[in-house]
Amino acid sequence: MTPLAMMADSAEVLARPDLGEHLLTPLERERAGRFRLESSRADFVAAHLLVRECAARLLGLPVAGLTLLQRCPDCARDDHGKPYLAEHPEAQVSLSHGRGVVAAAAGLQPVGVDVEQPSKGTAAEVMERVLSAGELRRVREHAEPDRAFLRLWVRKEAMVKLGRTTLDTLTEIDLSGLELDGSPLRGRYGDLHLLDWEDELRGAAVGVVSTEAPRVEQL
Ligand SMILES: [Zn+2]
């Protein structure tokens, strides 16, 4: 089964009556309640709902039957770390939230998703911490370096979500051979299939990575 990815405005997710907060676990509600900004709270909730919708479509199941849990492999706490479905541990899920925008992915194979919005003038130290030498060169030579950086960043962050690398070892992943211009773009890195695109309307870039080529659906 092809892994499935979705992206949406937080507001459009929250406007769906079948994707209400009643679907969240008590722990997710408690975590949502920790946000000081209402908009950040909304983004968190929307991402946790969209990933359920994504998994429900993938598995052909009603969204109300899915319980989303998390477990950190390092400290064994359950309020962060890799998300999974209580009822379907064989499914892999991933979620990401930005400012007013969310993305999610689900598959029966490893999958990771990331959504990011551009920040003007990404600091050189930040780029050096996450990009390989070849990628740095590509970004610096690019007519729109911030935009080029964002494309590489969503791909790499999606790989982190998939569990292929960590934030500390990102410079060891070298995607400098892949295209940076065009949307959507598909690429390969070893056994991984990469798909990423720019959403001009929402001002965001999304990256999806899986061991099979992912497909995208609208909410
Ligand atoms: Zn932890």
Range of the domain at 171: 109-214
Residues 80, 161 within the same domain: no
Is residue 143 in a domain?
A: yes
Domain membership of residue 81 (yes or no) is yes
What confidence tens digit (pLDDT) does each residue in 161-192 have?
A: 999 999 899 999 999 999 999 999 999 999 99
CA 149 – ligand 1 centroid, Å: 28
Across the range 71-79, mean pLDDT stands at 86
Q: What mean pLDDT value characterizes the chain? A: 95
At 42-57, the pLDDT tens digits run: 999 999 999 999 999 9
Last residue within a domain, chosen from 63, 91, 119: 91
Query: Using CA atoms, how far apart are residues 53 and 128, in angstroms rounded to an integer?
Result: 36
**Same domain, residue pair 209 and 121:** yes
CA of 117 to the centre of ligand 1 (A): 26
Q: Does 122 share its domain with 210?
A: yes
**From ligand 1's centre to the CA of 160, what distance in Å?**
15
User: How far, in Å, from the CA of 79 to the mean position of ligand 1?
Assistant: 8
Say which CATH number the domain at 50 has.
3.90.470.20
Query: Sorting pLDDT into bands at 50, 70 and 90, what band is 120?
Result: confident
Distance 18 CA to ligand 1 centre (A): 32
8-19 average pLDDT score: 96
Residue 9 falls within a domain, yes or no? Answer: yes
Q: Is residue 206 part of a domain?
A: yes
Q: What's the gap in Å between 71 CA and the centre of ligand 1?
A: 8
Residue 96 belongs to a domain: no
Mean pLDDT of 89-105: 97
Higher pLDDT among residues 75 and 13, named by residue: 13
User: In sequence order, which residues have a C-beta less than 8 Å from that of residue 151 and are 6 or more positions away?
Assistant: 180, 185, 196, 198, 205, 207
